[in-house]
Structure 1
Amino acid sequence: MSTDYNYDEQGQFFPYFVATMLLLALGPVTYSTFAPSKQTGLQNNPRIESSFKPADYDHIEQHKRKKRKESRRIKRMTFLAIGWSLMAYMIYLILTSSALTPKIWDPYTILGISMSASEKAIKSHYRRLSIKFHPDKVKLQGNDTLESANERWVEITKAYKALTDEEIRRNYQEYGHPDGKQSYSIGIALPQWTIADGSKYWVLAFYGVMFGIVLPYYVGKWWYGTKKYTKDGVLMETAGRLFKGYEEDCDEKKAVEILSAGGLEKFKKDEKNMEGKEHIIESAIKDKVPFGVMSTLEKMEGWKRKTYGLLWAFMTRTRFEDSKLDAEKLDVAQDAVSWNNSLLAIMLAFSSTKPILSSMRINQNLVQAIPPGGSPLLQLPYFTETLIEKIEEFGAKDHWTIQRFMSLSDEKRRQLCVGKDGLTEEQYKEAIAIAQKIPILHVEKAFFKVQGEKTVTPNAICQLVLKVRVIPAGVTAPPVDPKDLEDEDPAEDDIDALIGRTSSKSKTQTKTTEKSPIPTNEVEKSALVTGSEPPMPTLTHAPFFPAATLPKWHVFLADRRSGRMIIAPMTIVQFPEPTDNFQVQTFKLQFGAPPNSGEVHFQMHLVCDSYLGTDYKTGIVLKVDEPRMFDTRIKEEDEISEPEEDSLAGLMASSRGQSVKRSSHHHHHHDDSDEEDESDTEGEEDEGSATDTDTDTDED
């Protein structure tokens, strides 16, 4: 057997090589592009409809279109379209070249018989074919001619003679050829000119660059790109600068200063072109920012100064004459939410209550474009600082919340809002409609419990049970059904529910539309939703923010005296029941009870990350009791049955004064006194019952 090596001069095998290389590149790119995301998109979530348009509405919409365009990944999609089109063409060439390849003469195929057929079966089959296809007996049909019939019969006869020869048939069965083992050639899917003296070095250089430089570069770029970001999608360098900026006594203003450290990657490269930009920003915001912000701004330099100024420009709703600055302002505001998620994770690790609350509340300011210390009424459309001063009677100690404003009568609200230098009737109606759609969580009941127990004991797995309702401001909700405030334990045979896993019998919907940006406990929703998915949460009403967001509520327990977070937060994103019917929602935060008995005073915080003035804070006491010792006394109500009087247990029970059953033998020999016996037995049973009652009373 000989082996020949030949090159693909006719381009017959080159499509195989190209298709293989394309598949190596297109496979991973296609999967990463179209793989299902772990997070559900927000395009289908319901919205709070409003016709209100901010002053820089055009810039905000332009920014949204830009982000949508980036999310479509035009370059990647173009690469995939061209790549798969070329792949389809290569497949077409492969199929056509395979069809043109000459086939090996196969007598088994010609006769239409299997290779396992015996010589006798071959002869029998040949006789049947001779009756049908012999030129003297064949009946010509359609386009058949006598010449084609003769050629077909020649092929059949040739195949028959080949298969009736024992050696030829064995060669076909073993080697697939009548002459036995044949030499074969190895085709190289490249034309021969690739190794010619004048071009082989160029070809080697091409392969060296592709497989030695380009491929490792892109693989390394992808790998280090995945390690470059935190789980919150923030650069590691940015997270490090946020960590360095942490302070124990951090308020909302300080949080904005820390977040400005995230602008390095955005503005460091363009630092030379920022000359004069800082002055434009500072002159535009100097009369709008709180006291102390300008002095902090003057201490900063370069990219950090610009980021800090743009953050305050966004929160004060400042417009620039420079469209590029307006676009950068929206970019920084959207990125600042991601930076704040990373900052909140850092602050949670330190467990100080004040920085944690500052980070959660600055998210409200960023989403609603309201500076720290600003009025929550600015969340309503068409409300301005001038109108709010009139409503609050300027000089009041605290700003009004939406709840306080909506608690006024409609007549009083109209008197304050509608009229000259105020709102029109249409604007007022829309503002009120929006106020009545902003979700506000009302805590109906909060208590601690241990599943399956009546008391909380040391080191037990304890749960903070929250019974809440969504009641927008100005909306009258019906009274709560007391049964809805109870928390029933699962059945003893429902093992899945007891260990906190979704059972097949009762499917608790725990699906969320958004991954929590902070380390949180898993949200356990005890309300059951059967037959349908839970309602999709409504997007945050934030007309100034350049992206769609979902409102989230963070619940955690803290110690008021030490100012420390005691129990890590739980994040509420989705409700298991519809919120428009004021259904009581149940959420549980699980943690370990203290190791010692006594009372532990917590301060519970419920903070929304999207709406100002909706936070809730209350004191709550956890009472930890010493575990009770098992009562060794036998209680009659716990007994399965009373012993008979003739048994050993019955004799011992009689000596202790406990009631016993009359034996069947005794009843059999005293038929005449059945009525007296029954009467006496009833009396004994009554005595036993009275004894049990007294015992319970003594224990109490």
Structure 2
Amino acid sequence: MSTDYNYDEQGQFFPFFVLTISGLVTLPLTYSLLKPNKGLENTAPRISSDFKSKNADVVEGQKRKHRRQERKVKRFFTVLLGYAVMGWMIYLIIVTARVTPKIWDPYDILQISRSASEKDIKNHYKRLSLKYHPDKIRPDPALNETVESVSERFVEISKAYKALTDEEVRNNYIQYGHPDGKQSFSIGIALPKFIVTEGNGKYVLLVYGSLLGVLLPYLVGTWWYGTQRMTREKVLVASAGNLFREYEENLSEGGVIGALSSGEEFRSLLGGEKGERGSGKIERKILAGSDSEKLFTILAPADRQKLEDLDDGLRRKVLSLLWAYLGRVELEDPTLNYEKYEVAPVALSLNESFAAIALAFGNTMPILSAYRTSQNIIQAIPPGSSPLLQLPHFTPEIAQAVEGESAKLHLTVQQFMHIHEQKRRELATGPRLLSNSQYESAVSVAKQLPSLQVEKAFFKVMGERFITPGSLVQFVVKARVVPPGSSNVPEVNEIDLEDVDPDEGDLDALLGRKPAKRSKAPAEGDSKGSASDNEKLVQPPLAFGPYLARDHSPRWHLFLADGKQGKLAVPPFTFTTFERPLFNNQGEPTYAIQTFKMQFQAPPQPGQYTFVMHLVCDSYVGMDSKREVTLVVDDMARAEQIDAEDEISEPDEDSLAGQMNALKTGGLAGPTPTRPRRTRDASSEEESGTEDEDEDEATDTDTDTDTDED
């Protein structure tokens, strides 16, 4: 027995090999390419507005460029090339003539049916012997027959006959597939023979060396380096290190913007020929400003000093571009204007990394500064400016005219929309102010902003009446979206403010995948529907940011802080979706109560613990909520004593003890009232984590100009 290795000389199997390899690469890439992107920015609705900023074409162009990058053009062309190769291989498979090895079959050689009996086989063999025996037949030259071919044919007939009649030969055929026993076999290699022919070996080695020694290490190294050079927030590790070094405990929004300019991403974005070109022109614009821009304070003195102290020319240009973007300064240079809108999305990504660093340190002021810097970047508003600049067509002059020149505090969008319609129109429209159409456009956008209004906030322990030391506490916030300018806002249904514990077997509710079902039916007229009708989470509209060259879905951050020490008490819970619809089919607000929960462990000692609740939206200025909440932790022994007292009830009237009690008290037999259980009202100070009823309680909405909370 021998083994024969042969190559695919006719190239009949090579297309199958190439088709398989290209299919293993192309098909998974096709799936990843066609798989719909379920990111928040790709599935959220949009705020309806026809407003276009002065450089809207630049902003839209950068958005399209970013979307093209997300589509991964390289992957698309790789898939296209893969299908071209697969098509070519399929064509070669169809047109290439293939030689199939013939299986040795005694019935086919004897040309007899498989159902023939042994007697029929013997008779048929005798007839073939008379016809094909070498002594009885002569080679036919017309058929290219020779003496050897005639003899070989009769030998095959004899082997086939013995394979069907001789016991030993038949066993060989059954076991090895041939009457002579185990045969030598051939292994085909799906490579054309020209690859291994003499003289081509050096080229084959060169190809293998390039693939295994250069390309493969390069691909693996690129993948590994790419995973190690980026943080979880998708910024460079070097940038995160720079932000870490820029961190300070009392950092304001302006300080955060200065820290963001240290990102290494800007070097690849503005490096090379762009470099520091135009840096001086940008600085003159933002430091001096025109007469119309003097009302629009862009840089605070500390931020101005920070810019002037920078020695790194590229970083100084980046910081100048960021301030020019926030101040909406026209740079009168197409390239500089393009760069101005290009650096803002990068700074927004870097700000997420800085927020993570600030959370690790746990100081409240930098955390709030990071969240508010996100608001400033998305809305293109400098820190401390009027929130009215978020509305279309509003300029610093118009905002000042609406607020009044002597006003010390800025109006929020909510406060502006609460002004009577006639007076509001008089303040905002007129010569050098808004036209009627521009005013209608601004009001239309304001009425679509998702302003989240907290209705109730409290602490609880699931399934318990009291909060005891070390227990797992839930901080529950009941809120609803009330867009600015909403009229006829309905009163809150008290049933919606309840927080029902899920049933024992309701794992989805226990794990927070859906809200628990209420035991009570909604009050008459409540059109919000039950929780089961709204299990699909609802996304708010994309942030209205006409100056940001990215789409951004709003995010809300809920956390508890220690107001006295200025430290983070409970890390933020971030949510991006709601459990109930915000608007109905007609585009009107539903005012549905939304429930948000965060869990933490109660303090180890009984007492009253006062926290400051912060609810911050990262996309809109002046829509943050802040209030004090008190966590009451009861002593374990006291809680058990109250529970034991509540379990003691008066004796039943039909029992002997009940009759004796009636005679003793001189009362008539009848229903004996039971002692009411001690309950805690949700709005009282005894409630674990309720709002204080003091007159001087902090308001729900906090503007950017309020710095007391920091």
Whether the TM-score (by the shorter chain) exceeds 0.5 is yes
**Aligned equivalents of 1:178 and 1:636: distance in 2?**
97
**Aligned equivalents of 2:119 and 2:505: distance in 1?**
70
1:264-283 Cα distance to aligned partner (Å, 9 max, x none): 55358825643442112212
**Aligned equivalents of 2:490 and 2:651: distance in 1?**
47
- How far is the alpha carbon of 1:105 from its aligned partner? 5.0
1:301-360 Cα distance to aligned partner (Å, 9 max, x none): 222112111111111122333333233222211111111111001100111110000000
**Aligned equivalents of 1:694 and 1:536: distance in 2?**
49
Higher mean displacement: 357-366 or 396-405: 396-405
Q: Match of 2:188?
A: 187
Q: Match of 1:489?
A: 501
**Aligned equivalents of 2:429 and 2:64: distance in 1?**
36
Change over 3 Å in CA distance of 1:290–1:634 after alignment to 2: closer
- How far is the alpha carbon of 1:31 from its aligned partner? 6.0
1:115-142 Cα distance to aligned partner (Å, 9 max, x none): xx88759969x99xxxxxxxxxxxxxxx
**Aligned equivalents of 1:271 and 1:564: distance in 2?**
43
Q: Match of 2:218?
A: 217
Higher mean displacement: 380-389 or 16-25: 16-25
| Identity value in percent | 41
Q: Match of 2:335?
A: 324
Q: Is the 8 A contact 1:456 1:625 kept in 2?
A: yes
In the alignment, does 2:351 pair up with 1:352? no
**AA of the residue aligned to 2:100:** T
Change over 3 Å in CA distance of 1:113–1:480 after alignment to 2: farther
In the alignment, does 2:596 pair up with 1:587? yes
SS in 2 for 1:558: strand
- How far is the alpha carbon of 1:20 from its aligned partner? 4.9
**Aligned equivalents of 1:468 and 1:113: distance in 2?**
89
In the alignment, does 2:404 pair up with 1:404? no
Q: Is the 8 A contact 2:653 2:671 kept in 1?
A: no
Which of 640, 645, 659 is the matching residue for 2:657? 659
1:175-233 Cα distance to aligned partner (Å, 9 max, x none): 33455433222233334443444321221122111112111210221122122211111
1:456-494 Cα distance to aligned partner (Å, 9 max, x none): 211111111111110011112111112221222233x43
Q: Is the 8 A contact 1:246 1:347 kept in 2?
A: yes
- How far is the alpha carbon of 1:174 from its aligned partner? 2.5
Q: Is the 8 A contact 2:6 2:186 kept in 1?
A: yes
Q: Match of 1:145?
A: none
Relative to the length of structure 1, the TM-score reads 0.79
**Aligned equivalents of 1:306 and 1:344: distance in 2?**
23
Change over 3 Å in CA distance of 1:548–1:162 after alignment to 2: farther
Which of 594, 609, 618 is the matching residue for 1:600? 609
**Aligned equivalents of 1:6 and 1:331: distance in 2?**
60
SS in 2 for 1:295: helix
Q: Is the 8 A contact 2:540 2:577 kept in 1?
A: yes
SS in 2 for 1:445: strand
SS in 2 for 1:586: strand
Change over 3 Å in CA distance of 1:36–1:60 after alignment to 2: closer
Equivalent runs, 1:471-486 vs 2, <5 Å: 471-476=482-487, 477-486=489-498
Equivalent runs, 1:272-311 vs 2, <5 Å: 273-286=274-287, 287=289, 289-292=298-301, 293-300=303-310, 301-311=312-322
Aligned length: 619
1:475-520 Cα distance to aligned partner (Å, 9 max, x none): 12111112221222233x436268435589969xxxxxxxxxxxxx
Relative to the length of structure 2, the TM-score reads 0.78
Change over 3 Å in CA distance of 1:498–1:9 after alignment to 2: closer
**Aligned equivalents of 1:69 and 1:471: distance in 2?**
36
Change over 3 Å in CA distance of 1:272–1:694 after alignment to 2: closer
Change over 3 Å in CA distance of 1:694–1:446 after alignment to 2: closer
**AA of the residue aligned to 2:307:** L
Q: Match of 1:372?
A: 383
**AA of the residue aligned to 1:206:** V
In the alignment, does 2:466 pair up with 1:455? yes
In the alignment, does 2:252 pair up with 1:251? yes
Q: Is the 8 A contact 1:249 1:355 kept in 2?
A: yes
Q: Match of 1:673?
A: none
Q: Match of 1:50?
A: 49
**AA of the residue aligned to 1:296:** K
SS in 2 for 1:208: helix
In the alignment, does 2:554 pair up with 1:556? no
**Aligned equivalents of 1:113 and 1:36: distance in 2?**
61
Q: Is the 8 A contact 1:370 1:378 kept in 2?
A: yes
Equivalent runs, 1:566-581 vs 2, <5 Å: 566-579=569-582, 580-581=589-590
Q: Is the 8 A contact 1:46 1:536 kept in 2?
A: yes
1:15-59 Cα distance to aligned partner (Å, 9 max, x none): 24434543565466556545676x535334211111110000110
SS in 2 for 1:12: coil
Q: Match of 2:85?
A: 86
Higher mean displacement: 157-166 or 227-236: 157-166
Higher mean displacement: 158-167 or 323-332: 158-167
Q: Match of 1:391?
A: 402
Q: Is the 8 A contact 1:238 1:262 kept in 2?
A: yes
Q: Is the 8 A contact 1:380 1:435 kept in 2?
A: yes
Change over 3 Å in CA distance of 1:252–1:90 after alignment to 2: same
Q: Is the 8 A contact 1:122 1:160 kept in 2?
A: no
- How far is the alpha carbon of 1:101 from its aligned partner? 2.5
**Aligned equivalents of 2:516 and 2:496: distance in 1?**
21
- How far is the alpha carbon of 1:589 from its aligned partner? 1.5
Q: Match of 1:547?
A: 550
- How far is the alpha carbon of 1:533 from its aligned partner? 2.3
1:243-267 Cα distance to aligned partner (Å, 9 max, x none): 1110001000000011111145535
**Aligned equivalents of 1:319 and 1:241: distance in 2?**
30
**Aligned equivalents of 1:387 and 1:455: distance in 2?**
53
In the alignment, does 2:531 pair up with 1:528? yes
Change over 3 Å in CA distance of 1:50–1:109 after alignment to 2: farther
Q: Is the 8 A contact 1:271 1:302 kept in 2?
A: no
- How far is the alpha carbon of 1:552 from its aligned partner? 1.3
- How far is the alpha carbon of 1:601 from its aligned partner? 1.0
Q: Match of 1:230?
A: 231
**Aligned equivalents of 2:442 and 2:238: distance in 1?**
43
Q: Match of 1:520?
A: none
CA RMSD of aligned residues (A): 4.0
SS in 1 for 2:12: coil
Higher mean displacement: 238-247 or 175-184: 175-184
**Aligned equivalents of 2:173 and 2:95: distance in 1?**
27
Q: Is the 8 A contact 1:635 1:692 kept in 2?
A: no
**Aligned equivalents of 1:384 and 1:98: distance in 2?**
77
Q: Is the 8 A contact 2:612 2:626 kept in 1?
A: yes
Q: Is the 8 A contact 2:276 2:317 kept in 1?
A: no
Q: Is the 8 A contact 1:337 1:366 kept in 2?
A: yes
Q: Is the 8 A contact 1:450 1:461 kept in 2?
A: yes
Q: Is the 8 A contact 1:551 1:573 kept in 2?
A: yes
- How far is the alpha carbon of 1:407 from its aligned partner? 1.1
Where do 5+ consecutive residues of structure 2 fail to align?
125-156, 519-528, 583-588, 681-710
**AA of the residue aligned to 1:397:** K
**Aligned equivalents of 2:647 and 2:443: distance in 1?**
64
Change over 3 Å in CA distance of 1:240–1:633 after alignment to 2: closer
**Aligned equivalents of 2:621 and 2:466: distance in 1?**
37
**Aligned equivalents of 1:331 and 1:635: distance in 2?**
68
**Aligned equivalents of 2:198 and 2:368: distance in 1?**
74
Equivalent runs, 1:255-270 vs 2, <5 Å: 255-267=256-268, 270=271
**Aligned equivalents of 1:441 and 1:498: distance in 2?**
23
**Aligned equivalents of 1:688 and 1:246: distance in 2?**
77
In the alignment, does 2:87 pair up with 1:74? no
Change over 3 Å in CA distance of 1:310–1:531 after alignment to 2: closer
Where do 5+ consecutive residues of structure 1 fail to align?
128-156, 508-525, 644-657, 661-678
